[in-house]
């Protein structure tokens, strides 16, 4: 098991961030206590939040890398930038988590250990919601989960939308290069389905999630109309792909 004094040369923690405000520093500070190295992808933020990381960069000069993108390209595109550079540096696995303090830093090491024990697998967080979770979000994700399991013939995706996950980098890059989609909010569900189509094993881990109130500095880039339209279009595309792959998937089952 890694600790904060050891830098892993195989497993990287990658955090995309867009206008996350003060919560960015809190999230990264906690993450650095659990795992090294940590890379942050600043996805065209214009709120100055990356400046909050300067003191942490001075404290962790060999372990905290901040990559700044000139314009906002979307979560999936930011992650693709990060994993491409990570693969070039020899990393084999990446744990993605959100920068808005919704994901628990003390689960980083259990996620990484599951990946170390199951290197071929994708480790998916299965959210455990508390009272802070908006009920419309909790119920709405059940629809995406139902479609994701249909499109994979029940391969084992317990939650298609949760962003705390470990991916084998080689498989994830192959999936991202196989589609021009999965660059924004559709990243998590689309890559989960496409990784299942590649027969990547899945290990699920129950993970608490918190929603930070706006009064406490919470931010959300989720837009109900725009992003739900994106998800609907995504599942239409994935269902068409599922029908084309159905004979193959049935044989595998």
Residue 47 in domain: yes
Weakest-pLDDT range from 44-58, 97-111, 145-159, 207-221: 207-221
- The dihedral sign for the CA sequence 221, 211, 151, 250: positive
Residue 1 in domain: no
Which of helix, strand or coil describes residue 206?
A: strand
Q: Which one, of 216, 206, 203, lies nearest residue 121 by Cα?
A: 203
229 has pLDDT over 80: yes
Which of helix, strand or coil describes residue 64?
A: strand
101 has pLDDT over 90: yes
User: What is the Cα Rg of the chain in Å?
Assistant: 17
CA distance 247 to 27: 44
Question: Which CATH number fits the domain that encloses residue 220?
Answer: 3.90.550.10
Q: pLDDT category, 7, cuts 50, 70, 90?
A: very high
Q: Give residue 219's pLDDT.
A: 67
- The dihedral sign for the CA sequence 242, 143, 184, 196: negative
Residue 6 in domain: no
The arithmetic mean of pLDDT across residues 151-168, rounded, is: 97
189 has pLDDT over 80: yes
CA distance 127 to 164: 9
CA distance 249 to 16: 33
CA distance 206 to 124: 9
Q: Give residue 160's pLDDT.
A: 97
Predicted TM-score of the model (pTM): 0.93
User: Across-strand partners of 11?
Assistant: 93
Token pair, residue 148, equals 């994701």
The alpha helices in 99-223, defined as continuous H runs, are: 108-117, 135-151, 169-177, 187-197
Residue 183 in domain: yes
Residue 154 in domain: yes
Mean pLDDT in the chain? 93
Q: Give residue 224's pLDDT.
A: 57
What domain count does the chain have?
A: 1
Host domain of residue 100? 11-252
Residue 158 in domain: yes
111 has pLDDT over 60: yes
Question: Within 10 A of 230 (CB to CB), how many other CB atoms are there?
Answer: 16
Residue 2 in domain: no
Quick check: 7 and 65 in contact, CB under 8 A?
no
Residue 19 in domain: yes
The arithmetic mean of pLDDT across residues 28-49, rounded, is: 97
Which of helix, strand or coil describes residue 185?
A: coil
CA distance 215 to 46: 21
Q: Percent of the chain beyond pLDDT 70?
A: 93
């Amino acid at each position: 098991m890694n600790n904060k004094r050891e830098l892993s040369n195989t497993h990287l923690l990658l955090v995309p961030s867009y206008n996350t405000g003060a919560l960015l520093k809190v999230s990264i500070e906690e993450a650095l206590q659990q795992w090294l190295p940590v890379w942050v992808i600043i996805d065209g933020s214009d709120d100055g939040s990356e400046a909050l990381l300067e003191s942490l960069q001075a404290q962790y000069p060999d372990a905290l890398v901040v990559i700044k993108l000139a314009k906002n390209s979307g979560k999936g595109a930011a992650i693709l930038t990060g994993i491409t550079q990570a693969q070039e540096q020899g990393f084999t696995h990446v744990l993605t988590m959100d920068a808005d303090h919704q994901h628990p830093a003390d689960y980083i090491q259990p996620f990484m250990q599951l990946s170390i024990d199951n290197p071929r697998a994708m480790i998916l967080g299965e959210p455990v919601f508390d009272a802070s979770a908006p009920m419309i979000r909790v119920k709405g994700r059940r629809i995406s989960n139902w479609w994701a399991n249909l499109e994979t013939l029940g391969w084992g995706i317990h939650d298609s939308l949760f962003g705390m996950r470990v991916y084998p980098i080689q498989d994830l890059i192959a999936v991202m290069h196989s589609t021009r989609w999965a660059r924004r909010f559709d990243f998590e569900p689309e890559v989960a389905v496409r990784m299942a189509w590649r027969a990547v094993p899945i290990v699920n881990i129950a993970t608490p999630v918190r929603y930070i109130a706006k009064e406490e500095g919470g931010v959300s880039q989720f837009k109900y109309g725009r992003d739900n339209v994106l998800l609907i279009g995504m599942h239409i595309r994935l269902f068409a792909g599922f029908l084309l792959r159905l004979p193959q998937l049935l044989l595998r089952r």
